[in-house]
Amino acid sequence: MSDLKWWETAVIYQIYPRSYQDSNGDGIGDLKGITSRLEYIAGLGVDAIWISPFFMSPQRDFGYDISNYCDINPEYGTLADFDEMISKIHDLGMKLMIDIVPAHCSDLHPWFEESRQSRDNPKADWFHWVDPNPDGTVPNNWLSFFGGQAWSWEPRRQQYYLHNFLSEQPNLNHANPEVREALNQVARFWFDRGVDGFRLDAVHTINGDQAPYLDNTANPDFVPGNLPQQQQPFFRQLHDVAQLNQPAIQTFSENYRKIADAYNGDRFLMGEVDGDKGRAMEVSKTFTDTGRLHATYNFDLLTWGGLSVDGLRDAINNAVDVFNGSGRLCFAFSNHDVPRSATRQLAALALGPDQGDAMQLLLLKLETCLIGSSCVYQGEELGLEDVTDIPVEQMQDPWGVKFAPAFLGRDTCRTPMVWEKSNQHGGFSTAESTWLPVSSQHLKRAGLDMAQTDGSIYQQFAQFLAWRKNQPAIMNANTMSTVSGDARTLVFDRISDAQTLRCTFDFDTLTASFEEI
């Protein structure tokens, strides 16, 4: 038996609830829909499910703009639906993680609606309110991830407020102990309902009132490119000196860790963090120091343009150099914010379209053989490709809407799951239309169909995860060698007291092999 906690080796399945399964015919996925598909997920053999936000929200950023942290947005269901869902998840032997957004809320949250009214109300300093410069301009040069300034004007207060993302997502002031306690109560609310862990969104963007608000400095390594990340002024700056990765984050993390540990020491905290170029592992180490987060969510395999074999080796070795011997890191190749790996990595690895399925299975095996935990995004187990033919008038992502048609945003990886090729909308919904169009190219990979198809990615990955559970080198320790191999091969050893397992991933033959040595 392993002495490791469940999260130190967990394979976590990420659900984007709006696009998983619609149970009531409104064209939008919901909690009852998720509940109806839990056997499909359990059949893979994953250890936990992570569900992106389903809280009360005006949906400007599709749930990452929360107006009530302790209730369910009606289009997703009710708290009773949530309770039914988590009960079934646990009955099936899986854990549940949910997405908490601690850095910002919706501008329609009652906290902000009160705060913006005046400078002397009870919530007056729950957000970052800063006077204009003498000439009326913004307080400093900080920019939003989504383009434009990170400051918006509130005429009632005659002040600017901070938002690292949309203007409808004001940043909370974590220097205020009342703000911290309000978020502590959120953690207790969901832990009391049985939630096993949190994926903490954009933790690196938490800010405390830090007047004077210093300017960011110029990024000397910035190179203009074709993608919006490179075109936007945001990436012309270095942010860790002033705007991001500030000390208030660790106060938040330490508070949440104390709360998690009070629940029998079995609740998991995984933070989404990032840092200026080359600093991601350093930042992650700080965030997971003793008494802080259990793990961080690693972006290094999520590079927008994909990674070559050498790039994969470097990214993994950078993580191993810092985290070898621990489960303090979570790897992922896809999520709700980047193009799907079946498309992104196919190009980066210089493979042909007929090699997509074999490549996708190889990547799934690779990430679940690395130290720590791993996240599989819905549809990766089917080899779903990015959807690039969404009509501009049907796009939903505010980032994509702003830049289309040059850039399609994140809708391309968020289209609804398909379940049965023969059913309307692939079995996702009985509605006349769905919130994003169902991709016709996905129908040949419908989930329930593939779960019953011999040799499908789903079946082969399920078989692999069953084999993985019986490997002491993977399940009983988090130690691995440096990754070696040639230009098309990754080779490393997973090591425990009971077993040394040599893992070889060949990107020419697109096969993985394992040998006890």
Q: What is the CATH number of the domain that holds 46?
A: 3.20.20.80
Contacts of 139 (CB under 8 A, 6+ apart): 130, 131, 132, 133, 151, 160, 213
Number of folded domains in the chain? Answer: 1
Residue 374 lies in a domain: yes
Please confirm, yes or no, whether 99 is among the known catalytic residues: no
pLDDT for 277 equals 83
Whole-angstrom distance, CA of residue 239 vs CA of residue 246: 10
Tokens 């590079």 found at: 303
Helix pair 248-261, 280-287: axis angle to 10 deg: 50
3-state secondary structure of 429: coil
Helix pair 457-468, 356-367: axis angle to 10 deg: 20
Contacts of 435 (CB under 8 A, 6+ apart): 18, 19, 27, 28, 396, 416
Q: Which of 315, 332, 328 has its CA nearest to residue 375?
A: 332
pLDDT for 229 equals 63
Q: Which residues form the domain of 355?
A: 6-103+177-207+247-473
pLDDT for 184 equals 98
DSSP state of 455: T
Beta bridge partner(s), residue 489: 506
Q: Is the dihedral of CA 404, 408, 411, 412 positive or negative?
A: positive
| 300 and 315 Cβ atoms separated by less than 8 Å | yes
Which candidate in 22, 75, 272, 381 is catalytic? 272
pLDDT in tens, the chain (517 residues): 678 999 999 999 999 999 999 999 999 999 999 999 999 999 999 999 999 999 999 999 999 999 999 999 999 999 999 999 999 999 999 999 999 999 999 999 999 999 999 999 999 999 999 999 999 999 999 999 988 999 999 999 999 999 999 999 999 999 999 999 999 999 999 999 999 999 999 999 999 988 889 999 999 998 887 766 666 788 899 999 899 999 999 999 999 999 999 999 899 999 999 888 888 899 999 999 999 999 999 999 999 889 999 999 999 999 999 999 999 999 999 999 999 999 999 999 999 999 999 999 999 999 999 999 999 999 999 999 999 999 999 999 988 888 888 888 999 999 999 999 999 999 999 999 999 999 999 999 999 999 999 999 999 999 999 999 999 999 999 999 999 999 999 999 999 999 999 999 999 999 999 999 9
Whole-angstrom distance, CA of residue 83 vs CA of residue 430: 25
DSSP state of 224: -
Helix pair 356-367, 341-348: axis angle to 10 deg: 100
Residue 393 lies in a domain: yes
| 482 and 385 Cβ atoms separated by less than 8 Å | no
Whole-angstrom distance, CA of residue 302 vs CA of residue 311: 11
Q: Is the peptide bond before 247 cis (omega within 30 degrees of 0)?
A: no
Please confirm, yes or no, whether 131 is among the known catalytic residues: no
Residue 231 lies in a domain: no
Q: Is the peptide bond before 134 cis (omega within 30 degrees of 0)?
A: no
**CA dihedral of residues 139, 142, 147, 149 (deg, nearest 10):** 0
Residue 162 lies in a domain: no
DSSP state of 384: P
Residue 242 lies in a domain: no
Q: How many CB atoms lie within 10 A of CB 381?
A: 29
**CA dihedral of residues 360, 363, 368, 369 (deg, nearest 10):** 140
Supply 365's token pair.
Answer: 């095996």
Flag whether the pTM goes above 0.95.
yes
Phi, psi of 245 (to 5 degrees): 55, 50
pLDDT for 456 equals 98
Residue 492 lies in a domain: no
Q: How many CB atoms lie within 10 A of CB 447?
A: 27
Q: Which of 53, 8, 496, 49 has its CA nearest to residue 288?
A: 8
Which candidate in 30, 201, 386, 411 is catalytic? 201
Q: Which of 244, 252, 283 has its CA nearest to residue 269?
A: 252
Whole-angstrom distance, CA of residue 498 vs CA of residue 472: 6
Whole-angstrom distance, CA of residue 151 vs CA of residue 166: 10
| C-alpha separations of 300 from 139, 198, 279, 369, 438 in Å | 32, 21, 11, 16, 29
Chain segment 210-251, per-residue pLDDT in tens: 888 999 999 999 888 776 666 678 889 999 989 999 999 999
Supply 358's token pair.
Answer: 């074999």
Q: Is the dihedral of CA 5, 6, 12, 15 positive or negative?
A: negative
Q: Which of 336, 347, 253 has its CA nearest to residue 293?
A: 253
| C-alpha separations of 69 from 124, 181, 251, 472 in Å | 20, 13, 20, 40
Whole-angstrom distance, CA of residue 146 vs CA of residue 397: 11
Residue 136 lies in a domain: no
